[in-house]
Chains A and B, each alone.
Chain A
Amino acid sequence: MYMDAIIAGFGGQGVMLIGNLLAYAGMHHGLEVTYIPVYGPEMRGGTANCTVVLSDEPIGSPIIHTPQSLIIMNGPSLTKFAPRLVDGGVLVLNTSLVPEETADASRVRVIGVPANEIADGIGNTRMANMVALGAYVAATEVMPLDVVEASLSSVISSHYSHLIPKNVEALRAGAACVKR
């Protein structure tokens, strides 16, 4: 088993949080994992991104140029990373901010998720990241969603633990968007 993902969006959309969550869940699922945030001049006003690698054998590079999957939360990230996605790769796209037709569905598998709207419906736009991650886990079947749900307490501080049930709801709502 091997999967790598670049998760990208505006700073503040929580891409580092869901990258951490996916990596923690991978570790709890018994996999080898790496997580690396990419900091640089793009931090101001542009995209924030991180790379997660999941594997059942020791991982080589934590930095990936041509990923097998993407979670894209905003337009600039689609422009930057979509051309690098492998042919047939999984692209989870936040269609609340990026029109689904801007992704090249002839080359890659586009999973459009109106993450902001769904998160609004649950009660907080800021959970759009969890909606996108739920869709990602369902689309890639990289691990069972309940492992991700159980890992929330690893990335959400105890001060905010009362928000975990809502985050579980957001993960499940994202997963439910993915057509089998």
Chain B
Amino acid sequence: MSERVFLKGNEAIARAALAAGMRCYFGYPITPQNDIPELLSAELPKAGGEFVQAESEVAAANMLLGAAACGVRAMTTSSSPGISLMQEAISYMAGSELPGVIVNMNRGGPGLGDIGPSQGDYYQATRGGGHGDYRTLVLAPGTVQEAYDLTMLAFDLAFHYRNPVMVLGDAILGQMKEPVTPHTPARTADPEAASWCLQGAVGRPGRIIKSLFLEDGALAGQNTRLAAKYQAMEAEVRAEQFLVEDAELVVVAYGSIGRIAKSTVRKLRNAGHKVGLVRPITLFPFPSAMLRALADQGKRFLTLEHNLGQMVDDVRLAIRTVADSAFHGHLPGNLPTPNDFEAPILTALGADH
């Protein structure tokens, strides 16, 4: 095992992208993710890659589309307002079936919001975000090691499915430091992209990569193919279970809130309360089958989020017809601590407090 290094979440994402063979990075500065371009501006050129500070997030996302069309491992990173600006290109990438990694270190919103942590972009991340009927794979790390590992995985998944993949963190994950065990992935390039990417048509017919399908029935055919792909992504579903086996109440929370809630669950367990935690790691695909199985066992649910209630919709969809989920939203603008979740969990348990 290689030695542990002590990294901010943002630094871990940048280092993972370098280790994963990223050749191009495009971005525009925004807090709280600036450590990513700062590190990459120094290190990516040394690794023989291209670092471009774009003139805007719109430009950065379209550069990502261009690099992806050339079959190159590429990434852009931003935070909420910047991610909104990128949505047009992300929709075009989904429609054109182009692979790329987009990192959103979620900050408070709507509008400029604040620079603190938030989970207000859950809907945007998991419902496509731009126009049209599409999805992106969404990976939600809860630790700095996971930020490293999932960023690496994001490149593989993007090329495997030829689809944009989003890594969804927040200002907590970006700024906190934890030990990370670095490693080298099995795959750092995607030679099979040669079968579809644009590389000059010498000796073969030209290719067109597009999201425009005007012929009768062509768009329906394309969207049916996309739907089959989204269905196949179910194979990627990941979630952490913590003390759920004998739990009466299952707390569902993702990312930073998932790990903060874990501390609360530990404390309440020590006080004899039968509470457990499911922390979805993929938000699309969502671990619906796991939650449904727990609901079938008669467990009750409480969804905790750093917003007014978004993922709770997916929890309720997963367990509909057998159970419901209570909800507690901790609002952005206040840093969440384990104490904040004690009363909501005890209330959902029906315990005195």
Query: Are the C-beta atoms of B6 and A27 separated by less than 8 Å?
Result: yes
Given contacts A24-B6, A40-B116, A60-B260, contact A66 B339 (CB under 8 A): yes
Min distance, Cβ A52 to any Cβ of chain B, angstroms = 9
Given contacts A23-B6, A24-B6, A154-B6, contact A61 B179 (CB under 8 A): no
Given A59-B178, A60-B264, 18 more contacts at CB 8 Å?
A27-B4, A32-B178, A34-B178, A35-B176, A37-B175, A38-B335, A60-B259, A60-B260, A60-B261, A60-B262, A60-B263, A61-B259, A61-B262, A61-B264, A62-B260, A63-B172, A64-B338, A65-B337
Cβ-based interface call for B128 (8 A): no
Name B171's closest neighbour in chain A (CB-CB). Answer: A39
Cβ-based interface call for A36 (8 A): yes
Can you list, as one digit per residue, whether each of A11-37 has a CB less than 8 Å from chain B (1) or not (0)?
Answer: 000000000100110010000111111
CA distance A32 to B145 in the complex (A): 12
Chain B residue total in the interface (Cβ 8 A): 24
Contact residue range for chain A?
Answer: 20 to 34
Can you list, as one digit per residue, whether each of B139-167 has a CB less than 8 Å from chain A (1) or not (0)?
Answer: 00001000000000000000000000000
Residues of B within 8 A of A34 (CB): 176-178
- B263's contact among A32, A33, A36, A61, by CB below 8 Å, is which? A61
Query: Are the C-beta atoms of A62 and B6 separated by less than 8 Å?
Result: no
Which 5 pairs show the lowest CB-CB distances between chains A and B?
A60-B263, A65-B337, A60-B262, A61-B263, A61-B260
Residues of B within 8 A of A33 (CB): 6, 178-179
Cβ-based interface call for B336 (8 A): yes
CB proximity to A under 8 Å, residues B327-342: 335-340
Binding site for B on A (CB under 8 A): 20, 23-24, 27, 32-40, 58-66, 154
Residues of A within 8 A of B266 (CB): 60
CA distance A60 to B251 in the complex (A): 14
Given contacts A61-B260, A61-B263, contact A36 B172 (CB under 8 A): yes
Residues of B within 8 A of A62 (CB): 172, 176, 178, 259-260
CA distance A32 to B176 in the complex (A): 13
Residues of B within 8 A of A23 (CB): 6, 177
CA distance A32 to B177 in the complex (A): 11
CB proximity to A under 8 Å, residues B239-277: 259-266
CA distance A33 to B177 in the complex (A): 8
- A39's contact among B175, B263, B265, B338, by CB below 8 Å, is which? B175
Query: Are the C-beta atoms of B262 and A32 separated by less than 8 Å?
Result: no
Residues of A within 8 A of B261 (CB): 60
